Chain A
Amino acid sequence: MIAQLRIDDRLIHGQVALVWTKELDTPGIVVANDNAASNEMVQMTLKMATPTGKKLLIRSVDEAIKVFNNPKGKGMRMFALTNNVADALKIAQNVDDIDGINVANVGRFADNSEGETHQVGSTLMLSDSELAALKELVKLDTPVFQQVVPSNQKASIASMLKNK
């Protein structure tokens, strides 16, 4: 089961590796990202960022969905990461067992080829298509919130999206 699906354009980094894996008590981290799944340098940096004692799996989004739906993983608390909203939406639409979706950091490293971005809160800079994906995401049954670090309060994404 996915203890948390986190959208974070930095994938595994300090906030995630040190703080969240401890907070969520997740022995397994799954990076669901097509680029990472095919890029050895990115895989190297992700392995470097993985805390000692945690298992890391790097898969394309489609392959990751198969892992999340594998009956063998039912009892395993997994921390799932994507670096964009569209990938997270695809996972959420195809996986039932997700406790919560944390829209943490989005858009800082995006190429902005779609033009102007929509600022939602202080850490989300969304293109038109990412904003549309986020609006779809909050329609699902799974709780969708923002909590960059555990000491922050959870903020509802639905209320952050009002008037957007």
Chain B
Amino acid sequence: MNKILIASHGHLASGIQSSLDILTGLGKEVSVIDAYVDDRDYTKDIKTFVEDLHGKTGVIFTDLLGGSVNQKVMLEVAQQKNIFVITGTNLAIVLSVALSTDSVTKESLQELIAASQVQLVEVSHDDTNLSDDSFLE
């Protein structure tokens, strides 16, 4: 599995971890930072994640572009070509990366991100049901 850190203002990061765990059982496999819920200097935790990669590929998810958490992350990874930073994080993109069996690349991440957008859901009257034969083809 790709190495993952999720960092957010407050408990969004550990909340996504909890959802990931219910859906896939992979909650323990990701690192999280819930920033500003206490006095901890979480930049240390970013550094630890980066060091533990030992140059291998990693993905850091942050909550808001331009938010302080994202800024701190960018400062820590500016020199690291092996780390991708994704912001505006939602559960869909974290799931996609966590379940991706290949090591991610810039191109593969762009595809996963495109398939993980927030969207308006409307009642659709799609009554195209498959016949037995077309299903079994």
Chain A contact residues, CB within 8 Å of chain B? 14-15, 18-19, 22, 28, 30, 40, 43-44, 47-48, 52, 55-58, 66-67, 70, 72-73, 76, 148-152
CA separation between A30 and B126, bound complex, in Å?
18
Q: A18-B99, A76-B136 are in contact. Are A149 and B23 (CB under 8 A)?
A: yes
CA separation between A58 and B132, bound complex, in Å?
10
CA separation between A14 and B95, bound complex, in Å?
10
Residues of B within 8 A of A19 (CB): 23-24, 99
CA separation between A73 and B137, bound complex, in Å?
8
B124 interfacial contact with A, CB 8 Å: yes
B25 interfacial contact with A, CB 8 Å: yes
Chain A residue with minimal CB distance to B27?
A151
Q: Which of B26, B95, B115, B135 touches A151 (beta carbons < 8 Å)?
A: B26
Give the number of chain B interface residues (Cβ < 8 Å).
Answer: 21
CB distance from B21 to the nearest CB of A (A): 9
Contact A151 B24 (CB under 8 A): yes
Contact A57 B130 (CB under 8 A): yes
B123 interfacial contact with A, CB 8 Å: yes
CB distance from A163 to the nearest CB of B (A): 27
Residues of B within 8 A of A151 (CB): 24-26
Q: A28-B135, A70-B136 are in contact. Are A152 and B25 (CB under 8 A)?
A: yes
Residues of A within 8 A of B125 (CB): 40, 44
CA separation between A19 and B23, bound complex, in Å?
8
Contact A18 B129 (CB under 8 A): no
Q: Which of A22, A57, A73, A152 touches B99 (beta carbons < 8 Å)?
A: A22
Chain B residue with minimal CB distance to A19?
B24
24 A-B pairs whose Cβ atoms sit less than 8 Å apart in the complex: A14-B95, A15-B22, A15-B23, A18-B95, A18-B99, A19-B23, A19-B24, A30-B135, A44-B123, A44-B124, A44-B125, A48-B121, A52-B115, A57-B132, A66-B132, A70-B132, A70-B136, A72-B136, A73-B136, A76-B136, A149-B24, A149-B25, A150-B25, A151-B24
Chain B residue with minimal CB distance to A63?
B132
Interface set, chain B 90-137, CB cutoff 8 A to A: 95, 99, 115, 121, 123-127, 129-130, 132-133, 135-137
Residues of B within 8 A of A152 (CB): 25
Residues of A within 8 A of B126 (CB): 44, 47
Contact A18 B23 (CB under 8 A): yes
Q: A44-B123, A48-B121, A55-B130 are in contact. Are A67 and B24 (CB under 8 A)?
A: no
CA separation between A19 and B98, bound complex, in Å?
11
Contact B127 A40 (CB under 8 A): yes
Residues of A within 8 A of B121 (CB): 48
Contact B95 A43 (CB under 8 A): no
Chain A residue with minimal CB distance to B133?
A72
